[in-house]
Structure 1
C-alpha cells in the first residue's frame, strides 16, 4: 500500500506515458525514512497563517515536527497526512512519547538528544506498549545486521534516514576539503577561520565532483528531491550553484544560535535542551502543551487530495502543502485546489514552498484557480524572509478572493 501510494503520486507528476526510470526509482526510494526532521520552519508557517484558536489544520506530516509544533496555536485538530508510512511511524512514536514519558527530560533524551544507549529501555518499556501494530512492526524491524530501527535513537537519530546519511556524506567531503564546519556554525561573520571555511565551501561546490553529484538524479533522492522537482530547482542555473546559494542562506541568513536548521545541516544534532534553538515541539516551555494536545493530532496514511475530498465541506481553516506541488502535473494541482475550495472554510489559508521562485498557481494553464485564490504578497514575502531553513526558492500564502 505504501509503495503504491507513492508510485501513484509520481505518476500524477507527469502521467504514465511520461514517467521515466528515474521517477519509478524515486518512488521505490521514497518509501524509506527520508526526513528525521522536517525542513520547513513552523514559526514562519504560523506567522503567515495567523490562525484563530480552535482552527482545523490539514498538513503533510513528513517527520511530524510541524504537525506537533502547530499545537502552539491551540487548534481544534491537526490532520497529519502522508504517503510515507515511515514518516507516519515517526509521528506515531513521538505521540507515544508524549503519552508515555513522565518528564521533559525523558522526552528530550529520546527525541532531542536521541543518542543514549538507555533509549532502548525507554522504547521497550514506555513507548512500544503504546504503539499500534503497524508502527510497532516498523520500529521493531531489523536490518541485515540484526539491528532494530528503534536503535537509531541510541547512536544519533539525526544521522539516520536518507537525508541524514546524505548530510553525513557531505560532511565527509567537507572534511576532505578541509572545511571547518564548526567555524561556519559558531564563528563570527568576520572571523578569519569562517571566511576561509566559506571560501573552501565555494571551491567545493564549484568543483567537478559537485557538478557530477548534482547532475545525477539518483544521488539527490536522499535529499527528497524527485526528478520533477530537480528540474524546478535548477531552472536556468547549474544545480550545484543553486544548492550552494541555498546553503549560504541557511547558514548566514539567521543567527545560528537560534537556527536549529543550521545545526542539523552542519552538526546533525541540536545544541541542547531548553527553548533557544529547537523546534517548538521539543522546547521545554512547550512540553505540557504538547502533552495536553497530543490527542488533537490525527495521523492519516493517504493521498492528500483524496483525503480532503472525503472531509465535510467548509471543515478546514488551514492547509499546509509543504513542497508537494513540485511533484504534481497541472491537472493534479487543479484537482487538489478544487478539493481545498470545497473543504476550506470561508477564511481558509493555504501555504506552501517551492523549489523554484514561482508559484505554480501563477502559471497560465492554472489561471482559472486565480479567479478563486489570490497570493498574499506581504505574507508570502514575510514567510520567505522568516523561514530559517533557507532551502526553498519560494514561500507562498494564498487566501480566497
Structure 2
C-alpha cells in the first residue's frame, strides 16, 4: 500500500508521457526510511503561523519531529499525514517513547543520543508493547544478516536512513579532501583552520566528481529529491553550485551552537542533552509537555489531499505542506488547495517550502487560486529568516484574502 501511494504521488508530478524510469525508481526508493530527522525548522514554522492555543494542525509527518514540536503551541490536535509507512513508524515509536518513559534521561538516551546498546532492551521491554501491528512489524523486521531495525538505535540512529547514508558518503568524500568538519562546525569565521576547511569545501563542490554526483538523479534520491524537484532546485543553474550555496547557508547562516541542523549535517548527531541546539521535542524543559500532549498527535497513512477531503468543513487552522508541492503537477496542486479551502477555518494559515525560490501559486496555471489565497510577505520572510536548515530556496505562508 505504501509503495502504491508513493508511486501515485510521483506520477502526479508528470503526465504518463513525461514519466521516466527515474520516477519509478524514486517511488521504489522512497518507501524506505529516508529521514531520521525532519529538515524543516519547527521554530520557523511556529514563528510564521503564530497559532492561537487550541488550534487544529495538519502536517506531513516525515520523521515526526515537527508534529511533536508543534505541541509547544498547545494545539487541540495535530494530524501527521504521510505516504511513507517507515516515517509513520518512526513517529509512532516516538509517541510510544513519550508514553513509556517517565524520565527525560531515558527518552534522550533512546531518541536523542540514539546510540546506546541498552536501547535494544528498552525497545523490547517498554516500546514494542505500545506499538500497533504495522509499526511493530516495521521495527522488528530483520535485514539480510538478521539484524532488526530497532537496533538502529544502538549504534547511532542518525547514521541510518537513506539521508544518513548519503551524509556518511559525503563525509567520506570530505575526509579524502582533507576537510576538517569540526572546524566548519565550531571554528570562528576567521580562524585559520576554518578558512582552510572552507577553501577545501569550495574545491570539492566545484570538482568534476561533484558535477558527476549532482548530475545523476539516482544519487540524489537519498536526499529525498525526486526528478521533478531536482529540476526546480537547479533552476537553470549547475546543481553543484546550488547545493554548495545551500550548504554555506546551513553552516554560516545561524550560530552553530544553536543550529542542530548543522550538527546533523556535519556530525550526524545532536550535541545534547539539555535545552540548547535541539529540536523542541527533544529539549529537557519541554519533556513534560511532550508527554502530556502525546495523545493529541494522530498519525495518518494517506494521501494528504484525500485526507483533507474526508474531513468536516472548516475544521483546520493550519496546514504544513513541507516541500510536497514540488512533486505535483498544477492540477494536483489546485485540487489540494481546493481541499484546504473546504476543510480550513476562516483564519487558516498554510505554510510550505520550495526547492526553488518561487511559490507554485504564483504560476499562471494556478492564477485562479490567487482569488482565494494571498501570500503573507511578512510571515514568509520571518519563516525564511528563522529556518536554520537553510536547504530550501523559498518559505511561503498563505492566508485567505
TM-score by length of 1: 1.00
The alignment of Structure 1 onto Structure 2 pairs a total of residues equal to 401
Aligned match of 1:120: 120
Offset at 1:16? 2.2
Aligned match of 1:258: 258
Q: In the alignment, does 2:83 pair up with 1:94?
A: no
Aligned match of 1:315: 315
The 5 Å alignment of 1:381-392 reads 381-392=381-392
The 5 Å alignment of 1:64-143 reads 64-143=64-143
Aligned match of 2:346: 346
Query: d(CA) in 2 for partners of 1:266 and 1:84?
Result: 26
Provide the alpha-carbon RMSD of the alignment: 0.4
Aligned match of 2:12: 12
Query: d(CA) in 1 for partners of 2:130 and 2:31?
Result: 24
Q: Secondary structure at the match of 1:300?
A: strand
Aligned match of 2:186: 186
Aligned match of 1:26: 26
Q: In the alignment, does 2:241 pair up with 1:241?
A: yes
Query: d(CA) in 2 for partners of 1:15 and 1:347?
Result: 34
Q: Secondary structure at the match of 2:13?
A: helix
Query: d(CA) in 2 for partners of 1:106 and 1:317?
Result: 34
Offset at 1:66? 0.1
Query: d(CA) in 1 for partners of 2:18 and 2:172?
Result: 36
Query: d(CA) in 2 for partners of 1:18 and 1:334?
Result: 20
Offset at 1:183? 0.1
Query: d(CA) in 2 for partners of 1:162 and 1:341?
Result: 35
Query: d(CA) in 2 for partners of 1:246 and 1:268?
Result: 18
TM-score by length of 2: 1.00
Query: d(CA) in 2 for partners of 1:366 and 1:132?
Result: 40
Unmatched 5+ residue regions in structure 2?
none
Query: d(CA) in 1 for partners of 2:111 and 2:260?
Result: 14
Aligned match of 2:163: 163
Query: d(CA) in 2 for partners of 1:60 and 1:350?
Result: 12
The 5 Å alignment of 1:298-309 reads 298-309=298-309
Which moves more between the two structures, 149-158 or 378-387? 378-387
Aligned match of 2:395: 395
- Deviations for 1:25-59, whole angstroms, at most 9, x for unmatched residues? 00000000000000000000000000000000000
Aligned match of 2:221: 221
In the TM superposition, structure 1's runs of 4+ consecutive aligned residues that sit over 3 Å from their partners are none
Query: d(CA) in 1 for partners of 2:332 and 2:16?
Result: 13
The 5 Å alignment of 1:29-44 reads 29-44=29-44
Query: d(CA) in 1 for partners of 2:18 and 2:228?
Result: 11
Query: d(CA) in 1 for partners of 2:374 and 2:336?
Result: 16
Query: d(CA) in 1 for partners of 2:222 and 2:4?
Result: 20
Offset at 1:382? 1.2
Offset at 1:102? 1.8
Offset at 1:15? 2.1
Aligned match of 1:53: 53
